[in-house]
Amino acid sequence: MNEPIKTVKCVVWDLDNTLWKGTLLEDSEVFLLDQVRPVLAELDARGVLHAVSSKNDHDLAWARLQALGIAEYFVLARIGWGPKSKSIQDIADRLNFAYDTIAFVDDQQVERAEVAFHLPQVRCYPAERLPELPALPEFIPRTVTVDSRQRRQMYQANLQREAEQEAFTGPSEEFLRSLNLVMRIGRASEKDLSRVEELTLRTSQMNATGVYYSDGDLRAMLNDPRHEVLTVTMSDRFGPHGAVGVVLLEHNPAVWHLKLLATSCRVVSFGAGTVVLNWLIGSAAVAGAHLVADFRPTSRNRIMEIAYRFAGLTDEPCGCLTRLRPAHDADTQRLHLTPEERPLPATMRLEAPRPAVT
Ligand SMILES: [Zn+2]
């Protein structure tokens, strides 16, 4: 089988004679090339980010992007006189993207060669291929979710948040409070399924079982009254974090079975996993049910076991365990807790209904 094509997550664009016709510092006027706006918009809607690497006067070039009405598309711009390989490296690092998820478009062969030499994993395209980029397989993500469409805003918000955090000198809890974090936990709808599936795929460190649930599996659980599929989203004063967690729960009158908790690595520093877990424990307490969580160790999810143990889940035996269907495989551990009400989180506002009790 062929290796699947790695999807491009960010396109880095040259300006002169790539996005616009003309050389800003030499020509009296530059014009946006025909296909530029639709190509930027189409890739943006798919969740592919855009950035700029240009040898130009920074303020002048940025002002021109604004005047042309396309500046908002770019999450980062490196406009100056240094080598382009350096600015692309910088952009990839800021976004925390691997080089093999970056594309570079430039009309100058010497610039593409410089980038290809220093960063061989970056895919380089000549400017004249711009109109065909959206049709290339590497620019077509496997899934396009609600979050793909707001990915640019999420990254822009995150860059602002990081800048503010670097400048913040007080204790970290105080910084968290200053963000006005809001977490929403709610029942997944059909249109949430793709983002839930994507989360179970991507959250290798914070996935309690390492089990991947397909769209079909999730759809079956949505339609099964014994199961509850919950999505966790977060936002703060900088903007949305998008979907950051998923909870799969099977209800028994006497015991709630947490089959999966997965949270995004992006929100680990906000203690998101613990907030979800405490909310679940408090809800089970109100319902008078015990809580059992599946944990299956993988090479990467030790942090999730720590979160479970820290929340008070243990290996203690309990009669309720016999009410559960047997685990899929021998590696799955069942951690147990007799729940009590938990205090509300101190660093964020929680908007969550109590899960339905059957
Ligand atoms: Zn029990």
What is the CATH T-level fold of the domain 176-351, as seen in this structure? Answer: Aminopeptidase (3.40.630)
The β-bridge partners of 334 are 294
CATH architecture for segment(s) 10-142: 3-Layer(aba) Sandwich (3.40)
> SS3 for 293?
strand
> SS3 for 10?
strand
Q: Are 127 and 14 in contact (CB under 8 A)?
A: yes
CA of 255 to the centre of ligand 1 (A): 7
Q: What is the pLDDT of residue 358?
A: 46
CA of 346 to the centre of ligand 1 (A): 29
Q: Where in the chain is the domain with CATH 3.40.630.30?
A: 176-351
CA of 256 to the centre of ligand 1 (A): 9
CA of 324 to the centre of ligand 1 (A): 11
| Spatial CA neighbour of 312 closest among 358, 281, 347, 287 | 281
DSSP string computed for 220-237: HHHT-TTEEEEEEEEEET
Q: What average pLDDT does the segment 336-355 reach?
A: 89
CA of 328 to the centre of ligand 1 (A): 20
Distances (CA, A) of 123 to 5, 73, 98: 12, 20, 12
Q: Which of 109-113, 229-233, 269-273, 310-314 has the lowest mean pLDDT?
A: 269-273
pTM flag (> 0.85)? no
Going by their DSSP bridges, the two strands 74-80 and 102-106 should be labelled as unpaired
Q: Where in the chain is the domain with CATH 3.40.50.1000?
A: 10-142
Q: What is the pLDDT of residues 150-189, one digit of tens each?
A: 899 989 998 999 899 889 888 888 999 999 999 999 999 8
Quick one: how many helices (H) and strands (E) in the chain? 11, 14
